[in-house]
Amino acid sequence: MTHSLDTAAVIDPVKLEKLAEVAIKVGLQLQRGQDLVITAPIAAMPLVRLITKHAYIAGAGLVSTFYSDEETTLARYAYAPDESFDRASDWLYEGMAKAYGNNTARLAISGDNPMMLAAQDPAKVARANKAMSIAYKPALEKISNFDTNWNIVSYPNPAWARQMFPDDAESDAVEKLANAIFAASRVDVADPVAAWAEHNATLARRSGWLNGERFAALQFTGPGTDLTVGLADGHEWHGGASTAKNGITCNPNIPTEEVFTTPHALRVEGHVSSTKPLSHQGTLIDNIQVRFEAGRIVEAKASKGEAVLNKVLDTDEGARRLGEVALVPHSSPISASGILFYNTLFDENASCHIALGQCYSKCFLDGASLTQDQIKAQGGNASLIHIDWMIGSDKVDIDGVRADGAKVPVMRKGEWA
């Protein structure tokens, strides 16, 4: 922590406060009287304080922050009895679900050390994650189903910066990460709120075009990849701002560069290779290669983290099927920065990606009114997990496949065709 606070001095305080404002005004569009639940790594305290201030300025009722702490997480792995790894705070997440169902907004600050659990027993990591996923399910459903407005932003946690820039002095690493976050989050411009309005309009045009085309499938072709991703019946593309069921239009991810929709859980065929490493809850999974048959992953390899990958796939039946497919041009600002963040929020926005697990009900036409059974019948996947991984690059082409088999170029060498 001493390090964190020393290095916090290199983070531009004006841009950090702009990030807090963007989180409240664009990310959440927090409304007067709404309560707000924040989760954050404890190193992100300076940003939590600024977000809390701007939440109250916007008229928040009550702001409650729940901190995670890398040191106490590691103490659990070092000292806790074996049975601890099947425990999770069900009562807390049940309560959060209740709050989200009651118009409380949700803000998560991302910035954990991506290698936090790299040295821990993968079996324990998997058990702890599974227990957490089960406990968290009622709250996650409120978020996935957009019952309330929610947002994720990032803080340049020194433990994260050190992983990204291992050859730099810590303060240099934090400064680089801070500036990369500010650029990707569009807060390094004079009027970030206006910049976000323009960006949201661009993403809405892209998803509008795809919704007009109504492709039956997307075909990805590139090195190690020949994958046909069938799209769910009645799928709908989204990107940028979204209107939650409480009527509030929010930007759930900051940054965001993607347009995305729901694949058909039973109609994915072929093989695909990841193009960037995936940092999953403290473990790095690299060079993933999987093969799908009838929507299901029947073979999975990775050069690093293969054991964790296979544990993830065994979480439940839906963990082997897709819940999301997303398109991001290779020239997007995050990709152009050339920086690997080891953080899905950033890396998924540098590249086309797919997600294992739970689909988003909002990625269906009239999705809010569909039952779980209807979503399933239309091809929507269900799972405790939702894990994005990157399959796009400047060497990947994408075609839209119409119902009659005709192909329409969607992307060439990673750019919109």
Under the binding rule (CB under 8 A), the answer on residue 72 touching a second copy is yes
Exactly one of 13, 14, 69, 314 binds a second copy (CB under 8 A); which one?
Answer: 69
**346 and 184 Cβ atoms separated by less than 8 Å:** yes
53 binds, among a second copy, Zn ion, none (CB under 5 to 8 A by kind): a second copy
Under the binding rule (CB under 8 A), the answer on residue 24 touching a second copy is no
Query: By C-alpha distance, which of 30, 44, 353, 63 is closest to 181?
Result: 44
DSSP 286: B
Phi and psi, residue 60, nearest 5°: -55, 145
- How near is the Cβ of 59 to a second copy at its closest, in Å? 5
- Region from 11-19, 202-210, 295-303, 342-350 binding Zn ion, contact rule CB under 5 A: 342-350
416 binds, among Zn ion, a second copy, none (CB under 5 to 8 A by kind): none
Under the binding rule (CB under 5 A), the answer on residue 326 touching Zn ion is yes
Exactly one of 13, 14, 66, 119 binds a second copy (CB under 8 A); which one?
Answer: 66
CA-to-CA separations, 83 to 88, 124, 125, 253, 269, in angstroms, rounded: 11, 10, 13, 35, 39
Q: Which string of x and - marks every residue 353-372 that binds Zn ion (by CB under 5 A)? A: --x-----------------
- The sign one gets for the Cα dihedral 106, 98, 258, 352 is positive
Distance CA 88, CA 363 (A): 30
Q: Restricting to residues 92-151, name those near a second copy by CB under 8 A.
A: 92, 94-96, 98-99, 102
Within 237-381, strands assigned E span: 238-239, 242-243, 249-250, 259-261, 263-273, 278-280, 283-285, 289-293, 296-301, 322-327, 353-357
Exactly one of 28, 45, 173, 410 binds a second copy (CB under 8 A); which one?
Answer: 45
Exactly one of 13, 61, 208, 409 binds a second copy (CB under 8 A); which one?
Answer: 61
Query: By C-alpha distance, which of 47, 61, 41 is closest to 15?
Result: 47
Binding-residue total with Zn ion (CB under 5 A)? 7
Q: Tokens 């509030």 label which residue?
A: 248
Under the binding rule (CB under 8 A), the answer on residue 59 touching a second copy is yes
Under the binding rule (CB under 5 A), the answer on residue 22 touching Zn ion is no
**85 and 124 Cβ atoms separated by less than 8 Å:** yes
Distance CA 309, CA 283 (A): 9
- Region from 11-19, 67-75, 181-189, 378-386 binding a second copy, contact rule CB under 8 A: 67-75
**232 and 380 Cβ atoms separated by less than 8 Å:** yes
- How near is the Cβ of 35 to Zn ion at its closest, in Å? 26
Interface residues with Zn ion (CB under 5 A) are 258, 260, 324, 326, 348, 355, 388
Interface residues with a second copy (CB under 8 A) are 1-2, 5, 32-33, 35, 42, 45, 48-49, 52-53, 56-57, 59-67, 69, 71-72, 75-76, 78-81, 83-84, 87-89, 91-92, 94-96, 98-99, 102
